[in-house]
């Protein structure tokens, strides 16, 4: 049975919560280029332009969602409770954490206060989301890798922001929370994929999120431990390599899918992986490490750039047909 919020998106043109993946992916790309600048591979100006773009996208996407929620029927609460869409709501505070952490370098007090506010919102939403899993009955077929966003990704990014500010205890605690729910929910998600029918085409790209935790955790742990290679990083690196190989094995399945905004699920996985790879290569410093780092940066930028271009084309088409009942299938998730 189709859930009420998804029906509302289809029939009224309400913005899906999955559109919050746009500023999340752009923030991740800005982080990759920030790492490129930190390792002397690229000028900082490229990263700064991307951070401005990510901040502007966050404002535009959140405003668009709120406007459409007010004017197109349904309710925000229904969206949050939706078993498919609800997990993506966490991307609003999580993306804001990344943006505010970056700008805290220029505005230390305001940046840290804003980051702290979004940390609190993100952690509270994650706890609420987990509580709903316990309280509300839902089909296992509704479960997807996006469930890692309010629970695992949010916790790791809290850890990364805390580490950047020197809040070591908070950073370590947040990373521990992320690892716990990575193990628990990762097992559930893999079991759903293995033992139930394949998810709908629009949901399949969310499986890219399944491979994000080692890179996101690794970036967070680098922020907490001062950028050192230790046992934790070595274990995360091994896990990262295996899970990225899983995604490479699935490229054929992804390639056959029609384009939807759900493809933004690829972007933060790609960006965090690129950032992690560049950091490791810089620490390794072996022959040709700069070439490999540039290859990673180029692949990440090309992937996210192509998804952004196709999204602009899609949104332009939506604007031309912006009326209740005509939201294109590519907008749905």
Short-list 238, 240, 307, 319, CA closest to 273: 240
Q: Collect all residues with Cβ–Cβ distance below 8 Å to 224 and sequence separation of at least 6.
A: 159, 160, 162, 163, 168, 171, 172, 175
- pLDDT confidence tier of residue 320, bands split at 50, 70 and 90: low
> Does residue 187 contact residue 213 with C-beta atoms inside 8 Å?
no
What is the CATH code of the structural domain delimited by 4-331?
Answer: 1.50.10.150
- pLDDT confidence tier of residue 137, bands split at 50, 70 and 90: confident
Q: Rounded to an integer, what distance in angstroms lies between the CA atom of residue 150 and that of residue 249?
A: 26
pLDDT tens, residue by residue, 13-36: 677 898 999 999 999 999 999 999
Here the contacts of 280-284 (C-beta below 8 Å, separation 24 or greater) are: 280/237, 281/39, 282/39, 283/227, 283/229
| Residue 318 confidence (pLDDT) | 64
Short-list 279, 277, 275, CA closest to 32: 275
Show the 3-state SS of 142-194: HCCHHHHHHHHHHHHHHHHHHHHCCCHHHHHHHHHHHHHHHHHHHHHHHHHHH
**pTM over the 0.85 mark:** yes
Domain coordinates in residue numbering, the chain? 4-331
* Signed CA dihedral, 267, 268, 270, 271: sign only: positive
pLDDT > 70 fraction of the chain, expressed in percent and rounded: 90
> Does residue 212 contact residue 273 with C-beta atoms inside 8 Å?
yes
Q: Is the pLDDT of residue 319 over 90?
A: no
Q: Is the pLDDT of residue 1 over 50?
A: no
> Does residue 36 contact residue 90 with C-beta atoms inside 8 Å?
no
Q: Tokens 């502007």 belong to which residue?
A: 56
Average pLDDT (82-88) is 93
């Amino acid at each position: 049975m189709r859930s009420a919020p998804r029906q509302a998106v289809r029939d009224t043109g309400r913005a899906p919560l999955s559109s919050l993946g746009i500023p999340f992916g752009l923030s991740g790309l800005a982080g990759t280029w920030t790492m490129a600048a930190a390792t002397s591979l690229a000028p900082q100006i490229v990263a700064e332009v991307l951070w401005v773009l990510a901040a502007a996208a966050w404002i535009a996407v959140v405003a668009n969602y709120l406007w459409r929620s007010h004017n197109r029927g349904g309710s925000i609460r229904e969206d949050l409770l939706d078993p498919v869409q609800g997990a993506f709501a966490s991307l609003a505070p999580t993306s804001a954490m990344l943006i505010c952490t970056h700008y805290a370098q220029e505005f230390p007090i305001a940046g840290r206060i804003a980051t702290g506010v979004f940390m609190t919102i993100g952690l509270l939403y994650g706890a609420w989301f987990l509580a709903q899993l316990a309280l509300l009955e839902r089909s296992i077929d509704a479960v997807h890798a996006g469930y890692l966003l309010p629970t695992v990704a949010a916790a790791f990014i809290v850890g990364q922001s805390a580490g950047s500010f020197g809040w070591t205890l908070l950073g370590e605690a947040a990373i521990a929370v992320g690892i716990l729910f990575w193990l628990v929910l990762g097992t559930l998600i893999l079991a759903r994929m293995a033992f139930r029918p394949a998810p709908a085409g629009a949901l399949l790209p969310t499986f890219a999120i399944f491979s994000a935790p080692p890179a996101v955790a690794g970036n967070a742990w680098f922020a907490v431990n001062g950028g050192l290679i230790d046992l934790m990083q070595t274990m995360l690196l091994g896990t990262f390599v295996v899970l990225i190989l899983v995604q490479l094995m699935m490229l054929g399945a992804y390639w056959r899918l029609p384009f939807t905004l759900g493809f933004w699920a690829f972007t933060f996985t790609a960006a965090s992986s690129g950032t992690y790879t560049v950091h490791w290569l810089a620490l390794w410093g072996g022959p040709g490490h700069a070439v490999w780092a540039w290859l990673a940066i180029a692949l990440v930028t090309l992937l996210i750039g192509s998804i952004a271009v196709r999204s602009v084309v899609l949104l332009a088409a939506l604007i031309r047909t912006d009326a209740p009942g005509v939201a294109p299938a590519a907008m749905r998730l």
